[in-house]
Amino acid sequence: MANLNIDSVKARTFDAIVIGSGMSGGWAAKEFTDKGLKTLVVERGRQVEHNKDYPTTNLNPWEFAHNGKVPRAVQEANPIASRCYVFKEDAMHFVVKDQEHPYVQEKPFDWIRGYQVGGKSLLWARQTQRWSKYDFEGPARDGFAIDWPIRYDDLAPWYSHVEKFAGISGNRDGLAELPDGEFMPGFPLNAVEEHFRQRVSKSHPGRHVISARCAHLSQPQPIHYEQGRVQCQNRNLCQRGCPFGGYFSSNSSTLPWAMKSGHLTLKPDLVVQTILYDEQRGRATGIRVVDTHTKATVEYYAPVIFVNAGALNTNLLLLNSTSHRFPTGLGNDSGVLGQYVAFHNYSARVFAEYDGLPDLTTDGRNPAGGGYLPRFRNVLKQETGFLRGYAASFGASRDLVQPTHGLGASLKQQLERPALGPWRVHAGMMGETIPKATNYVRLDPTRKDAWDMPLLSVSVDYDDNDAKMKQDFFEQFTDMFTQAGFTNIRPQDSHQAPGLDIHEMGGVRMGHDAKTSLLNRWNQLHACPNVYVTDSACMTSTSTQNPSLTYMALTARAVDHAVRELKKQNL
């Protein structure tokens, strides 16, 4: 019996444990297994295997039961998920249903989640811009949050490392505010996007319209074929899962790669309840998980643990991992665990039309979505009445339009002979928000979910800085659109709650000082150094770039550090 127990513990002991299989967890799995470590990845959701579990990926529009729409009963049962743009008939099976995973909104917050192997990496918008030195220097220069303990140069080689493997398309634009990376050819701007680029460069010197950089294989390299991925086929149906592996996801890239090494054990359907802490050794020893189906609990052990549960769930897990040493959550000596949560302000758009270039249109689809304007406000110094700034997406397209009237044979004819509509353009704001102690998450004191985890209570809101920045976005884009000759310019405030941007960050921030932060410059908990947090929870500030690429780079860098520390027996 004793031997059986020893065998059982041995079977449940690994070289490394990774909690979560999404964007950053997949990278931790790849990096650990590349270095030969026997790695356990636990995922709270179900298995989603590349291709095998993409049920809608090859369906034509007429093959859906409801023309792509979400049935009314599903919408009514899921008001939060229904606000998310990917919650449509083709991908709603990859989005968490409201009632299955409740949380508490102290203020309105749309928490969009993807509980499955691969997490939200299946569903992301695939935009991949590096941070610049101005972004990492932001909090120190402008006196908000705390100073980042790293700078651009610390991360640059790791950006290169992940870009080569993930496959990023983009142009070498030579901008200090948006450093170039390891690129495959960018997807080109179309005629009107290029027109806007040229006009802006004259009307507003220093502002740049570039091709959006994205995680699509425009010209696959041997490393991508080795992953079983081939060239992006411009389907723009990415949220269904891509049979070509044309865009980067954990499912198509890092996880199968790690599996091929023979060092990966992937266990779906397990919710981590707590990280186990050894009071004597002052180290985490493993995790306790609950099987989502049987509700049985079991422990797994490893000398190093990576927490990649997704921003708010990483907060929840650490807050719930209490011990004599850490009564308010693992590593929470500073008392700021769960605080300084921030996000991106996506609530503003400007629409317009363009009468010019009527002889041109587009053919095929652009997976990059079009253009991108890096932040141009307060880049080198403070110059507006608000802190920081915004990046923006910019796109132009023409639609086939079927303006119809009447009925009968003439109606059929109108439908069969569509006209080409005018060029329509749009810009979307991606605003930096300022992390604050008053934007926080905490454990609900009484209510628990079906797996005995406390409900997460979220209190996150916009502030005055966000309002001023949004006003500036409307003014600047109205001006740029006007000077580009666009007409019918329509600013639109979506009034959406935070969360719907799906860029929530922070709560377990990095910093120099254990008194004001949770993580050091290597993403280790200051107070429990064999626990690393490398997902969005670690972010000290948000900048304006789509953040996933930065989580990937931070993760690869942290794994490299962890493995070196393990060899030195420092963990």
Partner 1 sequence: MNRRIALKHVALLAGAAAVLPGCLSQAEREPASTALSASQRQLVAEVCETLLPRTATPGAHDLGLPQYVLKMLADCTPLLEQRIFVAGLGQLDAAAQRQHGRSFGASSVAQRAALLERIDQQPADFANELVGFYRAIRQLTIDGYTNSKYFMTKQVVYELVPGRYNGYYPVSKVDLAYPRHGQS
Which residues make up the interface to partner 1 (CB under 8 A)? 58, 60-62, 65-67, 69-73, 187-191, 193-194, 233-235, 237, 358-367, 397-400, 402, 404-409, 411-412, 415-420
Q: Which is nearer to partner 1, 85 or 279 (CB)?
A: 85
Name the minimum Å distance from CB 214 to partner 1. 12
Question: Which amino acid, 161?
Answer: H
* Euclidean distance between CA atoms 344 and 542, whole angstroms: 7
Q: Which is nearer to partner 1, 57 or 476 (CB)?
A: 57
Q: Where are the beta strands (DSSP E) in 158-267?
A: 168-169, 183-184, 210-211, 264-267
* Euclidean distance between CA atoms 525 and 509, whole angstroms: 10
Give 249's contacts (C-beta < 8 A, 6+ positions apart): 26, 50, 118, 121, 122, 124, 241, 242
356: closest CA among 490, 191, 550, 223? 191
Name the minimum Å distance from CB 128 to partner 1. 18
Q: Which is nearer to partner 1, 385 or 418 (CB)?
A: 418
Count Cβ atoms within 10 A of the Cβ of residue 324 and give its class: 0-12 exposed, 13-18 middle, 19 or more buried. exposed
Q: Which is nearer to partner 1, 256 or 395 (CB)?
A: 395
Residues 395, 214 contacting (CB under 8 angstroms)? no
Q: Indicate the DSSP class of residue 64.
A: S
* Euclidean distance between CA atoms 23 and 250, whole angstroms: 6
33: closest CA among 265, 271, 316? 265
Name the minimum Å distance from CB 187 to partner 1. 6
Place of tokens 């529009």: 61
Q: Which is nearer to partner 1, 358 or 485 (CB)?
A: 358
Q: Which two tokens stand for residue 295?
A: 């509700």
Phi, psi values for residue 568, rounded to 5°: -80, 0
Name the minimum Å distance from CB 550 to partner 1. 27
Tell me the CB-side half-sphere exposure of residue 567, using CA atoms within 13 A.
8
Q: Which is nearer to partner 1, 97 or 267 (CB)?
A: 97
Name the minimum Å distance from CB 233 to partner 1. 5
Phi, psi values for residue 305, rounded to 5°: -130, 130
Helix, strand, or coil (residue 93)? helix
Query: Crossing angle of helices 464-483/191-203, nearest 10°?
Result: 100
* Euclidean distance between CA atoms 521 and 534, whole angstroms: 11
Name the minimum Å distance from CB 121 to partner 1. 22
Name the minimum Å distance from CB 370 to partner 1. 9
Name the minimum Å distance from CB 127 to partner 1. 17
Q: Which is nearer to partner 1, 399 or 475 (CB)?
A: 399
**Biggest CA-to-CA distance, the chain:** 84
Q: Which is nearer to partner 1, 310 or 367 (CB)?
A: 367
Name the minimum Å distance from CB 409 to partner 1. 5
Q: Which is nearer to partner 1, 183 or 440 (CB)?
A: 183
Q: Which is nearer to partner 1, 194 or 461 (CB)?
A: 194
Name the minimum Å distance from CB 206 to partner 1. 25
* Euclidean distance between CA atoms 312 and 457, whole angstroms: 10
Name the minimum Å distance from CB 453 to partner 1. 31
User: Can you give the length of the chain in residues?
Assistant: 571
Give 502's contacts (C-beta < 8 A, 6+ positions apart): 84, 112, 120
Q: Which is nearer to partner 1, 76 or 493 (CB)?
A: 76
